[in-house]
């Protein structure tokens, strides 16, 4: 059974539905109130309506009868508004009107339903420890005593006015206590990331579009002009729900002893093993999305194309990283810049780390072969070489997946080659354990076990859940 794809129409974009947010019950009402107040501090709503219309700034009244100050808005003087507006005008091709800019400034994140949903999704996927910490902080900030300890004010955080909240957040960012600095950094990045992805006015005013208007035509024209191969038609192994749930019968992916490599960087090896007559099974915890579903909306991509919804942080939150988490790994969302490992790095590996192979002509040959296979060239990109199959490539949304199939990432190049050589594929399989056995040549990985989660009933991934047709498989 193959995954639901639309390989026949690679350039008719099909939006991937976003899943409903999970229940927000991990925090109580007061904790959410505190958290929304924190989010409204990270991206503060600013009252600038009067300034926009050229009058002196007066406190406007909202539809609920409250003044902006009551509603948590911060006031902006006419001069400051003008200075920001001029600055924006000078750097935008089609700047918005003063009124639209003022409306944008007054946007309040916590009043945007998409923002709230997105926040729930994000917090439901962070580590339980991080969620617990945030739960403790929001609980404390909802009490007078806790708020005093963390902010110096004797009111719950959500009762502070915008200015006071902002100065609290600033003081946390400069705190000498690492945990408080880390918390401020995390809150700021969660708030700004969520807002950028869900603010209707930010998207409208910045001119950002999920799929560039002329993208389909350009991609189709480029494909026609260069006889681009059709997108791969993947067939993924499926496992009956009953067998995996009851533990009887066949229990998920099984494979021979030689092919344990899960990581993308071994894909090439898999293809070679396949040609050599070995049995190869490639497993990936993410899912395949065909070019027809790419580039994806950034909020949907976050769930479907990136590891851990796009942010992986160290325990102390001091370092964050972004990594791909779909079929093809980082290669499906990277910018395709393909630089050969520089000589000084190879020299260092060879001289100081005992990795002499990297300084041999054989390694250079391998690099050439890889670049050749992916069509790495700087002929069209002009600035840096890209793996665009040696062809011109229209994109700009590479990090949301390649809709033209032009980028020769693993999902478009190495994995189809592995399939042609007989490799088998499982998507949605998260390896939890790798077993090792003793071989004559030493200890080697001999098997993997983990959890397979099937696609949902429509063949998509929006409604999948671990309580569905899935189970531990070995
Ligand atoms: C937005 C972005 C842009 C980038 N741009 C460039 C660029 O232009 N040029 C460049 O050279 N590099 C770029 N990179 C970096 C590059 O993509 C990565 O270095 C590269 O993909 C790493 O390859 P990898 O094989 O080590 O792992 P990955 O490509 O990260 O693949 C690991 C895969 O394993 C899966 N996985 C993880 N755990 C499990 C598990 N337990 N069970 C099953 N599957 C699992 C993940 O879902 C993932 O798909 C970019 C990265 C990003 C995120």
Ligand 1 neighbourhood includes 330 CB (under 6 angstroms): yes
Ligand 1 neighbourhood includes 397 CB (under 6 angstroms): no
- Same domain? For 243 and 315 the reply is yes
Residue 406 near residue 390, CB atoms below 8 Å: no
Token pair 């969520």: residue: 194
Measuring from atom 46 of ligand 1, which residue has the nearest CA? 325
8 found inside a domain: no
Within 10 angstroms of residue 339's Cβ, the number of other Cβ atoms is: 9
Show which of 68, 88, 106 is a domain's final residue: 106
Ligand 1 neighbourhood includes 290 CB (under 6 angstroms): no
Ligand 1 neighbourhood includes 262 CB (under 6 angstroms): yes
- Same domain? For 254 and 124 the reply is no
423 found inside a domain: yes
Ligand 1 neighbourhood includes 349 CB (under 6 angstroms): no
- Same domain? For 113 and 162 the reply is yes
Residue 272 near residue 445, CB atoms below 8 Å: no
Q: What are the pLDDT digits (tens) for 341-360?
A: 999 999 999 999 999 999 99
Ligand 1 neighbourhood includes 329 CB (under 6 angstroms): yes
Q: How far is the CA of 337 from the centre of ligand 1 (A)?
A: 13
What is the pLDDT at residue 141?
97
Measuring from atom 6 of ligand 1, which residue has the nearest CA? 334
Ligand 1 neighbourhood includes 331 CB (under 6 angstroms): yes
- Same domain? For 130 and 197 the reply is yes
Tokens of 437: 């056995």
Q: How far is the CA of 155 from the centre of ligand 1 (A)?
A: 45
Residue 388 near residue 375, CB atoms below 8 Å: yes
Range of the domain at 77: 46-106
369 found inside a domain: yes
Q: How far is the CA of 326 from the centre of ligand 1 (A)?
A: 9
What is the pLDDT at residue 216?
67
Please report the atom of ligand 1 found closest to the CA of residue 325. 47
Nearest residue to 207 (alpha-carbon basis) of 61, 92, 63: 92
What is the pLDDT at residue 276?
63
246 found inside a domain: yes
What is the pLDDT at residue 273?
55
For the chain, count helices (H), then strands (E).
Answer: 17, 11
Residue 381 near residue 393, CB atoms below 8 Å: yes
- Same domain? For 59 and 35 the reply is no
Show which of 37, 72, 106 is a domain's final residue: 106
Pocket test for ligand 1, best of 323, 328, 333, 415 (most atoms within 8 A of CB): 323
Q: How far is the CA of 239 from the centre of ligand 1 (A)?
A: 26
What is the pLDDT at residue 6?
45
Pocket test for ligand 1, best of 324, 335, 337 (most atoms within 8 A of CB): 324
- Same domain? For 311 and 400 the reply is yes
Show which of 208, 229, 257 is a domain's final residue: 208
Measuring from atom 9 of ligand 1, which residue has the nearest CA? 337
236 found inside a domain: yes
What is the pLDDT at residue 1?
37
- Same domain? For 120 and 240 the reply is no
- Same domain? For 162 and 234 the reply is no
Cα angle for residues 335, 93, 291 (degrees, 5° grid) = 30
Please report the atom of ligand 1 found closest to the CA of residue 399. 1
Pocket test for ligand 1, best of 285, 296, 330 (most atoms within 8 A of CB): 330
Report the SS3 class of residue 157.
helix
Q: How far is the CA of 268 from the centre of ligand 1 (A)?
A: 15
Please report the atom of ligand 1 found closest to the CA of residue 429. 43
- Same domain? For 185 and 287 the reply is no
Measuring from atom 3 of ligand 1, which residue has the nearest CA? 334
Taking the C-alpha atoms of 398, 401, 403 and 409 in order, what is their torsion angle to the nearest 10 degrees?
80
Residue 400 near residue 301, CB atoms below 8 Å: yes
Please report the atom of ligand 1 found closest to the CA of residue 384. 8
What is the pLDDT at residue 184?
93
- Same domain? For 58 and 38 the reply is no
272 found inside a domain: yes
Ligand 1 neighbourhood includes 430 CB (under 6 angstroms): yes
7 found inside a domain: no
**Read out DSSP for 181-197?**
HHHHHHHHHHHHHHHHH
1 found inside a domain: no
Measuring from atom 13 of ligand 1, which residue has the nearest CA? 334
- Same domain? For 25 and 122 the reply is yes
- Same domain? For 443 and 319 the reply is yes
Ligand 1 neighbourhood includes 164 CB (under 6 angstroms): no
Q: Which stretches of the chain score pLDDT less than 50?
A: 1-10, 56-63, 65, 242-270, 465-474
Structural domains of the chain, count: 4
Please report the atom of ligand 1 found closest to the CA of residue 335. 8
- Bin 194: left if φ > 0, else alpha if -120 < ψ < 50, else beta: alpha
């Amino acid at each position: 059974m193959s995954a639901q794809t639309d390989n026949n129409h690679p350039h008719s974009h099909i939006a991937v539905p976003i899943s409903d947010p999970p229940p927000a019950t991990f925090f109580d009402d007061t904790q959410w109130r505190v958290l929304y107040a924190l989010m409204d501090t990270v991206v503060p709503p600013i009252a600038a309506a009067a300034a926009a219309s050229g009058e002196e700034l007066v406190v406007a009244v909202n539809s609920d009868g409250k003044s902006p100050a009551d509603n948590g808005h911060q006031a902006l003087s006419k001069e400051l508004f003008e200075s920001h507006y001029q600055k924006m005008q000078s750097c935008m091709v089609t700047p918005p009107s003063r009124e639209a800019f003022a409306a944008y400034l007054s946007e309040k994140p916590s009043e945007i339903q998409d923002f709230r949903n997105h926040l729930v999704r994000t917090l439901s996927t962070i580590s339980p420890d991080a969620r617990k910490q945030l739960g403790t902080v929001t609980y404390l900030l909802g009490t007078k005593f806790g708020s005093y300890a963390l902010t110096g004010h004797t009111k719950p955080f959500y009762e502070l006015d915008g200015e006071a909240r902002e100065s609290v957040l600033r003081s946390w960012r400069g705190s000498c206590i690492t945990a408080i600095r880390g918390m401020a950094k995390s809150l700021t990045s969660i708030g700004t990331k969520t807002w950028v992805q869900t603010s209707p006015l930010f998207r409208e005013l910045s001119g950002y579009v999920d799929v560039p208007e002329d993208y389909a035509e350009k991609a189709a024209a480029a494909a026609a002009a260069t006889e681009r191969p059709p997108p791969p038609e993947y067939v993924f192994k499926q496992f009956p729900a009953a067998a995996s749930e009851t533990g009887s019968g066949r229990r998920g992916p099984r494979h021979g002893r030689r092919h344990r490599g899960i990581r993308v960087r071994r894909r090439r090896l898999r293809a070679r093993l396949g040609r050599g007559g070995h049995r190869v099974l490639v497993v990936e915890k993410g899912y395949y999305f065909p070019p027809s579903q790419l580039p994806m909306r950034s909020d949907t991509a976050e769930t479907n194309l990136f590891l851990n919804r796009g942010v992986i942080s160290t325990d102390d939150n001091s370092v964050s990283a972004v990594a791909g988490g779909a079929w093809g790994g980082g290669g499906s969302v990277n910018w395709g810049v393909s630089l050969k490992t520089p000589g000084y790095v190879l020299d260092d590996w060879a001289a100081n780390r005992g990795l002499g192979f990297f300084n041999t002509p054989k390694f250079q040959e391998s690099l050439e072969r890889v670049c050749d296979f992916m069509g790495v060239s700087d002929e069209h990109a002009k600035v840096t070489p890209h793996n665009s199959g040696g062809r011109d490539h229209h994109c700009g949304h590479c990090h949301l997946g390649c809709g033209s199939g032009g980028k020769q990432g693993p999902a478009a190049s190495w994995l189809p080659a592995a399939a042609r050589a007989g490799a088998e594929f499982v998507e949605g399989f998260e390896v939890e354990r790798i077993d090792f056995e003793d071989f004559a040549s030493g200890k080697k990985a001999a098997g993997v076990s983990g959890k397979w989660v099937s696609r949902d009933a429509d063949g998509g991934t929006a409604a999948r859940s671990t309580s569905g047709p899935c189970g531990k498989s070995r």
